[in-house]
């Protein structure tokens, strides 16, 4: 069978400040998807990066008394450090200030739009919100301020290049309505479709300004053949998804291999740019469109938007330092519905950690390993065929088992694995995680049913079969959590010490010196 390719992108974050838990969510969600696809054998490319141009950056740099390049370098270093701690497995990191890797692609795309006759010069007069890095209309303001940033926009009048978004509106509408350009969840697609007005509506999309005069923001990519103008930061930024693959550079092999993206992950605040402007640019340049946009919700902190003034900014480092990177990954994977908004407080985090990691997973692993050690010196051998076929119970049947004269009801349902995979493929990471924790509960129940700690006194063979089956189940758990909690999965596998010998699975396990997840009081 031909190897499948899988290309996943994530919005390049603004290099104007440290990353908070919202950005961390985008990273972890994407990383889980990428790791899953690598795990099932897809030839995977996962792209991350930083958005370094524009007025927002220039202003933030000035505040710190730094030049823009030095300023973004600092922030990018911090972001990369966080990504390393979180075990983010991106294959490349694109920086928009990188003249060699990014600029040629951004400029090639610009030229393609120009050749299509989709760029013209005009005068823009209106409002601009630096926080959004976007032109904004009177209608969108609330009490004269941008609703997202709570700041008054600037009034500007300047000569700009415009992109004929209007020309592509009918095709965009068709693509969104037919889901040929799939937007998940559908409600986000509907919001975009609504912008075109109802059936027979004359409403269309206005053309957009796609450059700024060099004088007003001297920090960006020069427009080809007109260095007096710099590319509008969103055009510059969106092109990262292809520039990173070598588009516009000498070697376009990666681009040929991986584009179009299989999924582009983004937060709900930037859907317009990804579902309208970006596909329109691609249509204009006659490039294929991404297959799917996966739009995730926003995190709030204790019911409020995170803000420095309120002092409620959720910082990833606080969770990582207190609980470990995998604990944070766990929370983001399982306790958040990707397509919905969610709220976090330190208390909620601790509760979920204690219930599902310290107890739940951690407890199951440690007590099973202790029993294996105590009763069998860590050496437990068996096979699915001859011993207690736990695997059969997971994948095929849910039965009432009969072992050594005991009749025990099983609660292991038969479709955990297929459900896990179906949810993973549909990017329903929380539901896939639920399937894992269902298996963990089943294994707990299984131990409770058989009571190997009693059984060992009357029928050591039967007790070994029980322990073997639980160890086998834990192997499945370790496989399933590999994309979610890579570090924990590796630790568990090392503790199990599983190998295959003459059709049997042999565990040479040992007890960890410290618990996988220490309970927090
Ligand atoms: N630079 C642009 C993206 C350009 S892509 C061509 C940008 N950067 S950002 O740093 O503001 O956001 C990066 C990601 O973090 C986006 O997906 C955004 O939606 C997400 N989040 C920012 N705040 C968030 C929350 N409070 N909650 C969840 N995600 C949030 O936009």
Residue pLDDT, tens place only, 68-91: 999 999 999 999 999 999 999 999
Give every CB contact of residue 355 below 8 A, 6+ residues apart in sequence. none
Angle separating helix axes 68-85 and 55-63, nearest 10 degrees? 100
Could you tell me the residue ranges of all domains in the chain?
Answer: 5-297, 345-508
Q: Whose CA is nearest to atom 3 of ligand 1?
A: 11
Between CA 132 and CA 151 the distance in angstroms is: 10
* H or E element, residue 457: helix 452-458
Answer for the pair 398, 412: CB distance below 8 angstroms, yes or no. Answer: yes
Q: Which pair of tokens denotes residue 28? A: 């972890």
* H or E element, residue 376: helix 363-376
5-297 homologous superfamily:
HUPs (3.40.50.620)
Question: Is the confidence at residue 289, as pLDDT, over 60?
Answer: yes
Residue 6 CA, ligand 1 centroid: distance in Å: 22
Q: Whose CA is nearest to atom 23 of ligand 1?
A: 22
Pairing of strands 292-296, 498-501: unpaired
pLDDT in tens, 88-109: 999 999 999 999 999 999 999 9
Q: Which pair of tokens denotes residue 465? A: 């079969």
- Biggest CA-to-CA distance, the chain: 89
Q: Which pair of tokens denotes residue 119? A: 């760029």
Between CA 297 and CA 187 the distance in angstroms is: 12
Residue 275 CA, ligand 1 centroid: distance in Å: 15
Pairing of strands 504-508, 379-382: antiparallel
Question: Is the confidence at residue 394, as pLDDT, over 70?
Answer: no
Answer for the pair 488, 515: CB distance below 8 angstroms, yes or no. Answer: no
Residue 25 CA, ligand 1 centroid: distance in Å: 10
Domain 345-508 of CATH type 1.10.730.10:
yes
pLDDT in tens, 119-166: 999 998 889 888 888 888 888 899 999 988 888 999 988 899 999 999
Which sequence positions are flagged as catalytic? 20, 23, 129, 132, 146, 149, 305, 308
Question: Is the confidence at residue 401, as pLDDT, over 80?
Answer: no
Q: Is 284 in the pocket of ligand 1 (CB under 6 A)?
A: no
DSSP-assigned letter for residue 396: T
Between CA 394 and CA 443 the distance in angstroms is: 10
pTM of the model: 0.93
Predicted confidence band of residue 469 (pLDDT cuts 50, 70, 90): confident
């Amino acid at each position: 069978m031909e190897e499948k390719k899988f290309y996943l992108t994530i919005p390049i974050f603004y290099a104007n400040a440290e990353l908070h838990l919202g950005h961390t969510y985008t990273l972890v969600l994407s990383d889980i998807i990428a790791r899953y696809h690598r795990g099932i054998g897809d030839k995977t490319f996962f792209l991350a990066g930083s958005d370094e141009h524009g007025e927002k950056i220039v202003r933030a740099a000035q505040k710190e008394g730094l030049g823009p390049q030095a300023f973004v370098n600092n922030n990018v270093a911090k972001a990369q450090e966080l990504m390393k701690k979180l075990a983010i497995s991106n294959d490349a990191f694109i920086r928009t200030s990188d003249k060699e890797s990014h600029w040629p692609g951004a400029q090639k795309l610009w030229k393609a739009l120009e050749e299509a006759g989709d760029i013209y010069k005009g005068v823009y007069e209106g409002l601009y919100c630096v926080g959004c890095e976007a032109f904004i209309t009177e209608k969108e303001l609330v009490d004269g301020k941008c609703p997202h940033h709570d700041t008054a926009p600037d009034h500007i009048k300047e000569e700009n290049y415009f992109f004929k978004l209007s020309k592509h509106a009918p095709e965009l509408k068709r693509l969104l309505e037919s889901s040929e350009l799939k937007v998940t969840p559908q409600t986000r697609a509907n919001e975009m479709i609504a912008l075109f007005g109802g059936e027979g509506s004359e409403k269309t999309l206005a053309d957009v300004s796609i450059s700024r005069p060099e004088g007003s923001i001297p920090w960006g990519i020069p427009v080809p053949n007109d260095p007096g103008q710099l590319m509008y930061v969103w055009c510059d930024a969106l092109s990262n998804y292809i520039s990173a693959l070598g588009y516009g550079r000498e070697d376009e092999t990666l681009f040929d291999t991986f584009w179009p993206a299989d999924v582009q992950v983004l937060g709900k605040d930037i859907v317009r740019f990804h579902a309208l402007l970006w596909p329109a640019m691609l249509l204009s340049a006659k490039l294929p469109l991404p297959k799917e946009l996966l739009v995730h919700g926003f995190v709030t902190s204790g019911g409020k938007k995170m803000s420095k003034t309120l002092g409620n900014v959720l910082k990833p480092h606080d969770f990582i330092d207190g609980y470990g990177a995998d604990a944070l990954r766990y929370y983001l994977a399982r306790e958040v519905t990707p397509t919905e908004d969610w709220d976090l407080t330190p208390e909620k985090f601790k509760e979920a950690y204690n219930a599902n990691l310290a107890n739940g997973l951690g407890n199951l692993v440690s007590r099973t390993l202790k029993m294996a050690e105590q009763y069998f010196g860590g050496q437990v051998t068996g096979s699915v065929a001859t011993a207690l076929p736990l695997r059969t119970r997971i994948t095929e049947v849910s039965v009432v088992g009969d072992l050594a004269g005991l009749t025990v009801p099983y609660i292991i349902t038969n479709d955990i694995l297929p459900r896990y995979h179906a949810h993973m493929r549909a990017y329903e990471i929380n539901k896939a995680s639920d399937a894992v924790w269902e298996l963990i509960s089943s294994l707990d129940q299984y131990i409770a049913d058989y009571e190997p700690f009693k059984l060992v006194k009357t029928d050591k063979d039967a007790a070994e079969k029980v322990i073997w089956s639980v160890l086998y189940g834990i192997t499945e758990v370790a496989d399933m959590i590999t994309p979610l909690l890579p570090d924990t999965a590796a630790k568990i596998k090392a503790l199990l010490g599983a190998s295959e010998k003459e059709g049997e699975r042999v565990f040479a396990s040992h007890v960890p010196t410290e618990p996988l997840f220490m309970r927090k009081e």
